Amino acid sequence: MKGQRVFRRLTFDEVRAWLARRPDALLLDARDAASYTRDGWPGAVRLSPGNQDALLLRTDRQRPVLIYCYKGNVSQVWAQMFADFGFTGVCDLVGGHRAWVAGVDGSNPSGKALAPELAAWLTLEGFIGTQARGAHGNTPLMTAAWRGASAVVEQLLASGVALDAVNDDGNNALWFACVNGNPSLVKRLAAAGVPIDHANATGATCLMLAATSGKADGRGAHAARAGRRSGCALPGRLHCHRYGGQPRLPATAASNLRTLTMAHLTFYEKPGCSGNARQKALLRAAGHTLDVRNLLSWPWTTEALLAFIAPRPVSEWFNRAAQRIKSGEVVPETLDADTALALLLAEPLLIRRPLMQCDERRMVGFDAAQVHAWVGLGAHAPAPDTPLEGCAATAVHSADQHAIRCAPST
């Protein structure tokens, strides 16, 4: 990116040494006021839109700056902003305050060096070690099981991770394997010792989920039972009814189970865009819920838009199907960040779409592989190279009508 300045990302293992060598560092807490008051770092200053200008303009740009947030997402946006203002020693904390609290609890229990592939996967998923906790209290083993990443699961099992760990909803890794629906993975985790009969916060067990979700035509439940070699016990507060010999949960309980696997995304679109329509259909088919908003009329501010686009190169901020870009009137590769941002705020049609947000994480554009790795597209996930951005789809309404296409300039 032309003129871009960089910042450094520090892991938990690196941050103590970094702080020890820089006692004058400015520590900035990018969380909400209540969190900052409750367990902010000693000497840290709360960072917010209300004081950002004063900090950016009045702080010596040679002073080291370390920014942390909840989980290491928003801190990257802030760190890039400070770097763009000319600060030369800006860092943020990978995994955020959650990683700091986890500390050595996120280490590798086997004591052996992690395989490079596993270490890279952990970093990509935002975990600090094999025992760390991510969103909703999920462990790396739970996340790998949900993704269907069998090779990662094997490496995590070999590293000695806890098999009885549960997340904030009371679900264990076997539950997430059942959600994924891979019978071999379900059987492997059951055989490894992940508890089959554990009941989550709603009283549901893995066998209940596998038997009622339709995953792999019931093979998930069979695989789980095969791992234990016993009958289908259904303990807990929920009871199965049988229809045609197949166990099913009451409708309300089944709905609760499905809800536990969904993500809720804010989805900024151009109304009428066929590309955005395809993307929404994929997300909804995977069980996710959407809060759909009009990207063109939304009251964007500099900070709000940067929260989506700042981590990416300037050239990836733009909608390549926009007429001004296709005609060569606007060439994103020649623009610096300030010029590009001003142009996008003035002409939202130029913003690459969709913009999506789930919890603290944001995404610009719709790369199928990245979206699948983020929230999951389930069995509906298209091939990684499937083009899903732009308005290429046409719809013929009658013999005397032209094919209607989302205009390149809109």
Residue extents of the structural domains in the chain: 8-101, 111-260, 264-395
If the chain, 410 residues long, is cut into consecutive pieces of 10 residues, what is the mean pLDDT of each piece? 68 81 93 87 90 92 95 89 91 86 52 75 78 78 91 90 81 87 88 85 71 46 44 30 33 38 85 90 86 93 90 90 93 91 94 92 88 76 69 37 36
Burial pattern 349-374, b for ≥16 Cβ within 10 A else e, equals bbbbbbbbbbeebbbbbbbbeebbbe
Give the span between the Cα atoms of 269 and 348, in whole angstroms.
Answer: 11
- Take residue 103 and report the two structure tokens written for it: 């500390």
Helix, strand, or coil here: 34? helix
> Is 178 within 8 Å of 210 (Cβ atoms)?
yes
CATH of domain 264-395: 3.40.30.10
Burial class (CB in 10 A: 0-12, 13-18, 19+), 403: exposed
Q: How far is CA 226 from the centre of its chain?
A: 33
> Is 92 within 8 Å of 78 (Cβ atoms)?
yes
Helix, strand, or coil here: 238? coil
Length of the chain measured in residues: 410
User: Which of 91, 178, 273, 391 does the annotation list as catalytic?
Assistant: 273
Enumerate residues 6+ apart whose C-beta is below 8 A from 202. 170, 237, 238, 253, 256, 257, 260
Class of domain 8-101: alpha beta
Give pLDDT, residue 239.
32
Enumerate residues 6+ apart whose C-beta is below 8 A from 146. 138, 176, 177, 179, 180, 376
Verify whether residue 232 is a known catalytic residue: no
Which residues are 364's β-sheet partners? 355
What is 111-260's CATH superfamily? Answer: Ankyrin repeat-containing domain (1.25.40.20)
86: left (phi over 0), alpha (psi -120 to 50) or beta: left
CB atoms near residue 215 (< 10 Å): 23
> Is 302 within 8 Å of 275 (Cβ atoms)?
no
Residue 197 phi, psi dihedral angles, 5° rounding: -90, 5
Give pLDDT, residue 210.
60
Residue 377 phi, psi dihedral angles, 5° rounding: -115, 5
> Is 194 within 8 Å of 164 (Cβ atoms)?
yes
- Take residue 301 and report the two structure tokens written for it: 């501010």
Q: Which residue has the tokens 């900024």?
A: 268
DSSP 59-118: S-TTS-EEEE-SSSSHHHHHHHHHHHTT-SSEEEETTHHHHHHHGGGGS-TT-SPPPHHH
Give pLDDT, residue 142.
92
CB atoms near residue 93 (< 10 Å): 25
Q: How far is CA 127 from CA 93, 287, 337, 346, in A?
A: 12, 25, 30, 38
Give the span between the Cα atoms of 3 and 213, in whole angstroms.
Answer: 51
Give the span between the Cα atoms of 86 and 62, in whole angstroms.
Answer: 9
Q: Which of 271, 282, 254 is nearest to 353 (CA)?
A: 271
Give pLDDT, residue 228.
41
Burial class (CB in 10 A: 0-12, 13-18, 19+), 76: buried
